[in-house]
Amino acid sequence: MLNEPDAALSPENRYHETGASPDTDNKQAETFMEPAYKILIADDHPLFREAISSVIASGFEGSEIIETDDLDSALEITRENDDLDLILLDLNMPGMHGLNGLITLRNEAPSIPVVIVSAEEDKQVVLQAITYGAVGFITKSSPRAQMTEAIQQILNGNVYLPSDIIRTGKEGSHRRSRGDDNPISPELLNSLTRRQLLVLERMSKGESNKQIAYNLNIAETTVKAHVSAILRKLGVHNRVQAILSASDVDFSQYLKR
C-alpha cells in the first residue's frame, strides 16, 4: 500500500492525472509557434486606421499592427522593420503626392508587398498602381468581409484587384476603344484551350488559385499549370499582366467553340 502514491505518479500515469498527453502538448506548442503577420497601416485618417486594424485583428489573430499617418514616417518604419509582411498604403496621406509616394516606398523597400487602400475608384488609377508595383488595390468602400478576403489573398502571395472596377471602370471609360484596354488578340485567345479560357476568365475576376480550383472542381496544382500555360501563350510575364489584359474580354464568344 505504501507504494501506491509512487505508482500514481509514475511516468505511465502522470499524463492521465494532469489531463494532458504528448499529442496535446505538441498541439499547444504548435499553436503558440504559429507565425503572426506584421502589418503596417499608413493612413492619415484615425477612424479608418481603427477600422482596418479591427479587420486585421479579427481576421488575422495574433498579428502585430503598426500605424502611421504620413509617408516619411512610413519610410522610417520600413527601414527599422524589414520583417514587415504587408504595407497598407493610403494614396492621399501627407507626403504621398499620389502614386509618387508608392514609387518611393517601393524603391525603399522592394521586398515588402504594398497594397493601396484608397477611396479612389478610377480604373486607370488602379491599373497605374499595379504597374508601379502595388500587389493589390482595396477600395475603402469595400465591405469588411471583402477586405479580409483581399488581405488574405495578398498574404497568400496572390494579387488582389477590385473586379467591379477592373471590368467596368468609371463612367466614360467605355468611350475608350476596346484595343486600348485589351491588347490580347483574338488569335492568342483562340490558342487557349477551353479550360485555360475558364481559368483566365476567373483570374480576371480577381479569384485566387484556390478559389478557381474550387469553382472549376479541379486541383489547385492543375490551376497553377494552366496559369503558367496562359502566361506563356499570351506572351506576358506575370499574373497581373494577364489579368489586366483580359479585363474587358468577352469570354462567352470564345467559350462557345
Does the structure show a pLDDT above 60 at 16?
no
* Confidence at residue 79, expressed as pLDDT on a 0 to 100 scale: 94
Q: Which domain holds residue 231?
A: 176-255
Return d(Cα 185, Cα 199) in angstroms, integer: 18
Give the number of other CB atoms < 10 A from CB of residue 148: 16
Compute the average pLDDT of residues 66-82: 96
- Let me know if 45 is exposed, middle or buried by CB neighbors in 10 A (0-12, 13-18, 19+): middle
How does pLDDT run across 170-213, given as a tens digit for each residue?
343 443 333 344 458 888 888 999 999 999 998 887 777 888 99
* Confidence at residue 175, expressed as pLDDT on a 0 to 100 scale: 38
In a domain, 52, yes or no: yes
* Confidence at residue 69, expressed as pLDDT on a 0 to 100 scale: 96
Compute the average pLDDT of residues 84-111: 93
Q: Concatenate the DSSP letters of all residues of 148-195 into one string.
A: HHHHHHHHTT--B--HHHHHH-STTGGGS-HHHH----HHHHHTS-HH
Closest alpha carbon to 249 in 216, 210, 200: 200
Residues 79 and 153 in one domain: yes
- Let me know if 177 is exposed, middle or buried by CB neighbors in 10 A (0-12, 13-18, 19+): exposed
Compute the average pLDDT of residues 7-13: 41
3-state class of 205 per DSSP? coil
Q: Which residue has the cell 486594424?
A: 53
Residues 164 and 196 in one domain: no
pTM of the model: 0.62
Report whether 98 contacts 126 (CB < 8 A): no
* Confidence at residue 183, expressed as pLDDT on a 0 to 100 scale: 58
Does the structure show a pLDDT above 60 at 100?
yes
Residues 148 and 52 in one domain: yes
* CATH number of the domain to which 50 belongs: 3.40.50.2300
Report whether 176 contacts 153 (CB < 8 A): no
> Considering the chain, what is the average pLDDT of its residues?
80
Domain count for the chain: 2
Report whether 85 contacts 155 (CB < 8 A): yes
pLDDT band at 257 (very low <50, low <70, confident <90, very high): low
pLDDT band at 167 (very low <50, low <70, confident <90, very high): low
* Confidence at residue 239, expressed as pLDDT on a 0 to 100 scale: 78
* Amino acid symbol at 156: N
Beta-carbon contacts of residue 37 (< 8 Å; ≥ 6 apart) = 56, 60, 63, 64, 85, 86, 155
* Confidence at residue 83, expressed as pLDDT on a 0 to 100 scale: 93
* Confidence at residue 152, expressed as pLDDT on a 0 to 100 scale: 92
Residues 186 and 154 in one domain: no
Q: Which of 14-23, 106-115, 209-218 has the lowest mean pLDDT?
A: 14-23
Residues 185 and 149 in one domain: no
Report whether 109 contacts 78 (CB < 8 A): yes
% of residues, the chain, pLDDT over 70:
78
How does pLDDT run across 205-215, given as a tens digit for each residue?
777 788 899 99
Residues 60 and 130 in one domain: yes
Compute the average pLDDT of residues 39-57: 96
* Confidence at residue 59, expressed as pLDDT on a 0 to 100 scale: 94
Return d(Cα 110, Cα 112) in angstroms, integer: 6
- Cα atoms in the 13 Å half-sphere on the side-chain side of 104: 17
* Confidence at residue 216, expressed as pLDDT on a 0 to 100 scale: 95
Residues 142 and 227 in one domain: no
How does pLDDT run across 120-160, given as a tens digit for each residue?
888 888 888 887 889 899 999 999 999 999 999 899 888 88
Beta-carbon contacts of residue 123 (< 8 Å; ≥ 6 apart) = 165, 166, 168, 169, 170, 173
Residues 204 and 247 in one domain: yes
pLDDT band at 47 (very low <50, low <70, confident <90, very high): very high
